Structures are given as C-alpha cells and as structure tokens.
Chain A
Amino acid sequence: MSQHEITFTVNGESQSATVAARLTLVDFLRDALRLTGTHAGCEHGVCGACSVLLDGVPVRSCLTLAVQADGSEIVTVEGLAPEPGTLGILQDSFWETHALQCGFCTSGMLIASHALLAANASPTEDEIREAIGGNLCRCTGYKQIVDAIALAAERLRGSNLPAKEAADDER
C-alpha cells in the first residue's frame, strides 16, 4: 500500500500527515485527527452525513480520499462555531427551531446549508430543499431544518454583513 505525504488546512489549522492511498477523508478526519463531529452514515455517497467543505464546496468525505485533499482547505462541523462553547448563527438557528433529534445527520446538514447561505443570502424554500436534498435525515422530516435555514438567512441578513462574509464569519 503506497504512502503519501499530504498537507492541508483543517478548520484554519495547517496539518501534515502521511496517509495510505486508500484512506478516505472521513476516516482520516475521525481517526487520525479525532474530529469526530463528521459522521460516516452510508459510506457510499448517498446520505450526506459525512459532508465537509473542501475549498468552500460541500463534498462527501466518504467518497473523497485523504490524498485528494492535499493542498486544500477543509472545514468540518467543529470549524463552524466562532469559538469553543459558542454557536454560529446557523447552528443557533438549528437549536431555535429544534432542527435535529439524534444529531447524526446534523453536521452534514450544517455543512450543506452553510454553503447555501454563503452563495445565496435569501434562499426560497425550494432552494433550501434543493441545497439539503443530498442529505438524508430520518428523524425530522426536514420541516424544522428548512425553518432553521430560513431563520438563519433572515438573521444573517439582519447582521449587516454581506451574506458570504457573514457566513464565513461564523467560523
């Protein structure tokens, strides 16, 4: 099994590691870096629980090899809050509407909706549903998640920051 040197940024911190070619990004994040907020749900790219931002774009970390992340910037759920013990506006909106139950799909939902709000300050309900359409949730029926994202968009608009900046500011 070939080994590879990789260097990338995770939640703003530079990381270097030697990884096996077949190691997935989700296993690397969880097992090597102990960032366990990212969850492996189906491990075949359907459920979206393992979503992380790779250079600002949501990707399935179960279908991404760790070596593919070389040179890139990764953000996981742990990187969404401004500082430990606090929550960003999007996360706080999820809490306000109770947009989760067991919490297992939640990090993927946050990643998908974070990317949406960075690109679209005023998403319609259809646009919200489209943005989380690749993330499966078994608990909520999506209603309170859609409500949370709409609430977050409204609150971010009210924060007097350009949407992209406000969403980025969350981390």
Chain B
Amino acid sequence: MSAEPNSAFRYISRKRRTKEDHRFLAGNGRYVADIALPRMLHVALVASPYPAAHILSIDASAALALPGVKAVVTGDELASGTDALASGLDIPKVRRYPLAVGTARYVGEWVAAVVAESRALAEDAAELVEVEYEPLPSVSDPEAALDPSSPPVHADHGSNLLYRRKFVWGPVDEDFAAAEHRIEFRARWNRNATVPIETFGVVASWDPTAQLLDVWASIQMPKFPDQLAKALRLPGNGVRVHFDVDVGGSYGVKRGIKHSVLAGYLARRLGRPVRLIEDRLENMRGGDAHGPDRIFDMAVAFDSSGIIRSLRIRALDDVGAHAGRAPFQLGKPIGAIVGPYRIASVEYEAISVTTNKTPQEAVRGFGQSPTNFALESAVDRVARHLGIDRIELRRRNLIRHDEFPYTIPSGSTYDSGDYHAVLDKALAAGGYEDLVRRRDAAREAGKIAGVGIACCLEPSGGNSAFEPLFNPKNETTTWMDSCSIKVDLYGGIVAMMGTSSSGQGHETLVSTVVGEVLGRDPETIRVVHSDSLSALPSNSPVGSRMAIMLGGAAAGAAKKLKATITAIGAHRLGVAPEAAEYRDGDVMLASDPGRRLTFDQIVEIAHRKFHELPPGLEPGLQSAHVMEVPTGGTLPTADGRVQMYPCYAFEAHVVYLEIDRITGKVAIGRYAVGHDCGTMINPDIVHGMTYGGIAHGIGAALYERFAYDGEGQLLSGSFMDYLIPSSHEVPDITIADHCTPSPLTSFGQKGSGEAGYLGAPAAIAGAVNDALAPLGLSLTELPMTPGVLGDLIAGAG
C-alpha cells in the first residue's frame, strides 16, 4: 500500500530500480572475503574458555613448529606495540586491546592470534597453542555486578560501574504526587544482536616504502580510520581504508575495530598482507557484537482519564566485559524518552555496568528499541489498569499534528508528524476491527490469541549528542557527512561518497538526489565510494542518518554545481545569472528560451575554454559539500537537556498472533505498520528496510537471545541455538505509507534505516500479553520463546 508519489519530484519518491542490486544478483559483489592479495596470510584465534582468568603462560612452540605457521601473537606483545582502543566514556582504567592482556574477561575472548599460510593451517595450529589459566571469580548478572562486593571485571577500575546518572526533567515529584494513579513494573530486554549473515572480516596490507597501511573491511563505523591509525600509532594519513568493499549486512554491529587493529599490526610485523575473517563461533562469542542487555524499572503517573503525567525510568544496562561505545546506547533514547506522547516530566536514571560476558556493540536503533518496548509496555499497562481501550488511550496522549515543532522534557524538539493519522492508517491497513473479531472467535474456540499495538519514534540524523552528554571531556557538536561531484570532459557525472555501505542503497540515494537537482537521469550518474584518504569527512551510515545527511550533502553539492553551470551559461549568453534559467543541464534566457547553451557546450567551456569562463571561476566542473547535522552545533545544558537528533519518523504497528497452548510457539497471523518517514527517496528501499526491521524485531521479541549459564558460558554460539527468523516465522507484512515532510531537510526526508525494528518487539509483546490476559498471565521479558511461553501457560494450569 503506497502513498501517491510526490509530484513535485521527477526521480525522488518514484519506483526506480536500485544501482546496487544488479551486481549482487550476478554474483559480482565485492565483499571483504572476496579480496585476495598476493602472499596473503590468514589468522585464526585462540579463545578463552573461562569467563575470568589470569593468563599465566602461553606456549606456542608446537603451533610454531607446524610448517606454514608464521607467528603466534599474544596480548602482551600487542599491548607493547599498540595503544588501547578508544572508549566513549572517560574511564581510563577500563582498557581494551584486541587480545586479552594478562587477564581474560569473558568466554570466547581472543587470547592469541595464529598466523599461517592458510586459514585451515592457522586453525590447526591454534589448537596446539597451550594456555595456562588461573580461573578468577566472575559475574554475569547486571544486578549482581552493581553490587560493590562483586568481582570487578577490570580490577584497576575498582568496580563494575561504568556510568550512573539520574536526569530529572521537569517537576517529576510534583507530577507523581498530583496524579490520580501510579503503577510500577519491570521490563527485561535480554541480549540479542543484529547478527549479519556475513561475519566481520578485514584484510590489511602494509607498504613499508610508502609507510601506508591499506585496509579493506566489512565496516560500518564512524571515525574508523582515525581510531585505527591512533591505536596503531600511525598518523591519520598512514591508513587508507577502502570504502568500496560491499558489507554483507551490519545494522549497527560491524565495528570490528579490534579485528582491524590486530590485522594491521600483524601485516606490519610480518611484512605480508593479512586476512582475518571471523568464523561463526568467533563472531558469536568473540566478535564483540552483542546488543543491549537491559533491565527497566518503570513507574508511571497518570489520571483517570488516561492522561500520562510523568515517568520514572531506571535503565540498568549490561555492556559485557568492555565499554567501547556501548554505554552511549543508554544516551541516545533520551532524545525520544517520552516516545510520541505528551508527557510533561521524566526522571531517567541510566546505569551502565560491566560483566564477564561478550562486549556490547551498537545495534540498530542504538538503545531505542528496548526503550520503546518499555514505554509501550507502560502504555498498555495504564490502559489495562484503567479499563480504557489501548488505542483510545494512545490517541489521548499522542502529540497532535498542530503541536509541532514539539519540545519534550529532555530538550529535543520533534520536527514534524501526524501520529493520529498514521495510527488510523495502520489500523485500517491491518483491518483492526476484523482482527479483534478474529481474536474473540479464536478464544471462543479455545485458542490463545491476541492483538498488539505499538506506536513509536525513530529519531534520525544521528549527531552523536550523547557523547558530550555522557562525557563532558568530549565536545562533539558536529557529525558531518559529505559528497563531492565532478563532471568529466564528455559530460559524465561522478558523485563520490566517503563511507562504505551495508545494503542501504547509498549509490541509489546519491544518484537519485543528484539527478533530481541537476535534472539528469540517475541511470547515467556513477557513484563511487572513495577511500579514507581521498574522501571528505564522513561519519558512516549510523543513526538512520544517510537519507538526511548523505542525501543532504549530495543535494548541497549538486546545487553548487547547478549554480556554476548556470553562471557559465549566463556569462556566455551575456546576461546576469538571475536572467538565466537552468533546465536539465542546459542554460537559457528566461525571457527567450530559444537562446540557450547545452549541457555539453557548458561542460566543454569549463574543461577547455578558460577564456569563456566567468572571471574568478576555477576551470573544470566540480563541487563539494560537507553537511552539518540540522539542529547540531550546541552542547547539552547542565541539567542534561539536549537536541539529540534532528528528525523524528513515526510508526504504528498492528499485529495479530496465536500461541500454541502446548508448544508455546507463536504464529503471527497478521502484521501491518503505518510508517511516516517524510519524503521517501526510494520507496522500495524504505519498504525493504522496514520489512527487514520488523523481521529483526520478531527475532528479538520471540527467538533471539545470547543466553548464558550461571557460570558465564555462552549457550547460543551457533545458528542451531541462536534462532534467526526464517520465511516461515516472518509473515506477509502490509506497510501503509504516510508523508509528513521534515522542515529541516533538503526534500522533507527523515531517516528510515531502523524502521520496523523500533516498534515490532513492543507490538508483539503487547499482542502476547493481550493473548495471555484471559489466563491471568503477563510477561514483560523478551524474548518470549516457545519454551518460556509454554512453561508459563502450563504453569497456569
């Protein structure tokens, strides 16, 4: 179900085939594992079997005796040759290196790297490395980790507490005191992640004459080249990251900084190219790519009419054994801490702790989806408490269309929206009344059936304002992205972007936008991924930012180019630029369109006829634009108010499901979502990411969990135990589009890369609870696996 394309555009919002799909369909993608360099060596890793242990000794003699084995490198060696990896918070004693140094802190942590002529040989040799450990007490539960008596994961740091701050925005105590009703509950979001089908991989090659490290990596990480150079003690221009590597999925987690520092170090030390491609077990337990692991203690104050007045949220997040950027995933949700609702005051206590588990990395939404799950659970509980219909309760609390721009208590201003209209569209698309009848009929027939609703926001445009909020030493107020364009002698247009892509269709985005502005067919525009030495500053596709930021940068560069073309044409026509009109690359007199210069003529003037160029213009035809995030540029206030992200997309989910009484397995019978991300640059791409986000949300809600036993052993290190939804579990999905343009962006677009995932877990949890309610049961812990639900239902007799 689609909205009509916006007739203001020729290419934007139209059905258009993507630039990228063709090569992938021909088997012609170029992923990191496809890169084979002459004399390349391969890495396998020795991993800790203990959640916490001193490394007493490492004996590599048997491994090194195997023919073809080139080196066995330990953490001690690496720590003397590299600097610790960057940390987001100001916690200097929580140090992290690619290999464990002296102490192993989780099961699967890499203790030694074995380098050999082939991966198979490296794996053989890794089994011969003998490591002597002295096991230490460990902690794997976040509540236990918060107890000062728990064994600290980083002894030098002294405790497991990384960050704790209680924000109070508005008169929370007064609002709670004045409210007619209060409820409290706990919501638990257990550990899952995006788990791309391609594991992380990196190839590094050192040129000792140029003093240059070339890196190809399946990367989606802001500041990756800078952090890599710094850890390797190289100047920034001593590292060249090739962004033309196709990344086989990421959705946040493909950071791989430790892998890349290790591969870069080995390539320099051994003087040969080095490849490190994780196998699935290395990826699942040692790849440092788990997601948020969070306990929410929620308190809600509200009136009998259902108006929610205030919230108290305590969010305790378990980052695992190292910090990285993980604690910031408690910060990003501050930008939408009241969701799409008019809630006047909020208290938010964010607590980040270490445990002896695999470290956490950025996951799609950067902490927003767990927060949305907690918020929507609260809304459902308020409705149930008052006996008010869930949808009616939401309608009473949703911010109204005429209230935008709307500033929430934590300081962010929502740009635009029409939440009531999108909710109505979702209900119509899902056939809500029919679903209720279907549920009631199913219950009559003895089935366990429920309908779920969720409304939520997707903050987009990522300006990393949580960095200065959580770390006052960090004064980041820009998170730029860039694009440059050049036109060659024969009129061919090339646009250059400065990051890699992991399926988001950036070549399609850039060519569509540049084509739109210049009036040239996007099919004819080539888009290239520059390398980190030739690229203008860019920050990678995180925080649902590329439609806004790369799209905006491409539009900015194209507008400059258009102005240059117009100036050249006008000069040649002997008129002021204002008297000339640009049309599809040609320039003509506004008053007499018959007098014109063609695009080809203007290109030739720019490239060959300096004597015909307007004074002061550079020869050639090119432009560049580095874009600041809209609303960026300001630091947080002392009480922690901040404009987190510029744009806010909205989605409303409707789901119907049945739970098998015996097996506990959920079958989703209907799924519809209303979605408003402003102007869609390419509807197929937006829809695809939304379907995929919902599938990912179904996994988080019902199946996926990095489960640990009480001893800190990972129980789900393979796809036999960590269950990813297949075409059987993901139903047909209906999307109802809506378009409320953002006033802050070049074409009214907002972000959409996290769409679907941000509301699906909440909606499914709501449907499960609706199904369980007649049995007197409720559950506010994800994932709601068949085992959990089956036991719960059986227990109720």
Contacts and interface: CB of A to CB of B under 8 A. Distances in A.
A43 B732 contact: no
A25 B726 CA distance: 25
A39 B31 contact: yes
Given A44-B280, A102-B248, A102-B502, A133 B25 contact: no
A37 to B, nearest CB: 2
A134 B247 CA distance: 22
Contacts of A102: 24, 196, 198, 246-250, 502-503
Which of the listed residues A130, A136, A138, A145 has the most CB atoms from chain B within 10 Å of its own CB?
A138
B27 A107 contact: yes
A19 interface: no
A144 B694 CA distance: 13
B37 to A, nearest CB: 13
A15 to B, nearest CB: 17
A95 B17 contact: yes
Contacts of B195: 138
A94 B728 CA distance: 20
B28 interface: yes
Interface stretch (A53-61, A73-81, A161-169): A73-81
Interface stretch (B562-570, B647-655, B684-692): B684-692
Interface in A97-148: 97-98, 100-107, 110, 125, 128-130, 132-146
A87 B248 contact: no
A94 B25 contact: yes
Nearest to B734: A143
B24 A141 contact: no
Contacts, number: 180
> Chain B binding site: helix, strand, loop or mixed by DSSP?
loop
> Chain A binding site: helix, strand, loop or mixed by DSSP?
loop
Contact of A96 (B17, B26, B695, B730): B17
A146 B733 CA distance: 11
A39 B198 contact: yes
A37 B30 CA distance: 9
Contacts of B694: 141
A139 B719 contact: no
Given A98-B688, A133-B728, A104 B17 contact: no
A51 interface: no
A157 interface: no
Contact of A138 (B23, B120, B196): B196
A142 B719 CA distance: 18
B688 A140 contact: yes
Interface in B657-696: 684-685, 687-689, 691-696
Interface size class, chain A: 35 or more
Contacts of B248: 39, 102-104
Interface residues of B, number: 57
B251 interface: yes
A65 interface: no
A106 B692 contact: no
Contact of A42 (B34, B36, B719): B719
B692 A140 contact: yes
A133 B509 CA distance: 31
Interface in B1-46: 17-18, 20-29, 31, 33-34, 36
Contacts of B246: 102-103
Contacts of B756: 141
Contacts of B689: 101, 139
A44 B282 CA distance: 13
Interface of A: 22, 30-31, 34-44, 46-47, 49, 76-78, 80-81, 85, 87, 91-92, 94-98, 100-107, 110, 125, 128-130, 132-146
Interface of B: 17-18, 20-29, 31, 33-34, 36, 120, 194-199, 246-251, 279-280, 502-505, 684-685, 687-689, 691-696, 718-720, 724, 726-728, 730, 732-733, 756
Given A134-B726, A138-B251, 18 more contacts: A37-B28, A44-B719, A85-B26, A87-B26, A91-B25, A98-B21, A103-B21, A103-B24, A103-B248, A104-B197, A133-B728, A137-B692, A138-B696, A141-B691, A141-B694, A141-B696, A143-B733, A144-B691
18 contacts: A30-B33, A40-B33, A80-B27, A85-B26, A87-B25, A87-B26, A91-B25, A96-B17, A98-B684, A101-B688, A140-B695, A141-B691, A141-B692, A142-B730, A143-B691, A143-B730, A143-B732, A144-B684
| 7 pairs of A and B residues whose beta carbons are closest in the complex | A37-B27, A103-B24, A102-B503, A104-B248, A101-B503, A141-B691, A141-B695
